[in-house]
Structure 1
């Protein structure tokens, strides 16, 4: 992964954007990682895979709950119970 200082990113912004279209670029400030800049395409791909993982986890939880006898009616009663 390319790495650039925040000062160089500011001064060479066009080059910085070009690099980020090819691969993520780590931005450092005072020698410490401040963030990672990536293309819109890479961001959307990451975002999509996170949603897919969340959906798969929710499906697995629902299947396990159903296998253990938790129905929508029981869940509603549990959530409505204020004791």
Structure 2
């Protein structure tokens, strides 16, 4: 996991976004970890928000 200070994250926000799309980035303030930035895909995977695959269609031969 990459790590950067809050000042580095602020001053290089575009770089932070690019990096977080590839791997989690830990943001530190005064040397202490405070947040982790992750891609939306990773967030959805971790939080269970990814849509489930549709259920298989039932056999419609009788119609």
Structure-2-length-normalised TM-score: 0.75
C-alpha distance after superposition, 1:24-44 (max 9, x if no partner): 000000000011000000000
Deviation at 1:17, TM superposition (A): 0.2
Give the superposed CA RMSD. Answer: 1.1
Structure-1-length-normalised TM-score: 0.57
Greater percentage in strand: 2
Distance (whole Å) between structure 1 residues aligned to residue 39 and residue 23 of structure 2: 8
C-alpha distance after superposition, 1:44-71 (max 9, x if no partner): 000018xxxxxxxxxxxxxxxxxxxxxx
Q: Is the radius of gyration larger for structure 1 or structure 2?
A: 1
Match of residue 41 from structure 1: 41
The runs of 5 or more residues in structure 2 that have no matched partner are 50-63
Greater percentage in helix: 1
The runs of 5 or more residues in structure 1 that have no matched partner are 50-83
Deviation at 1:10, TM superposition (A): 0.2
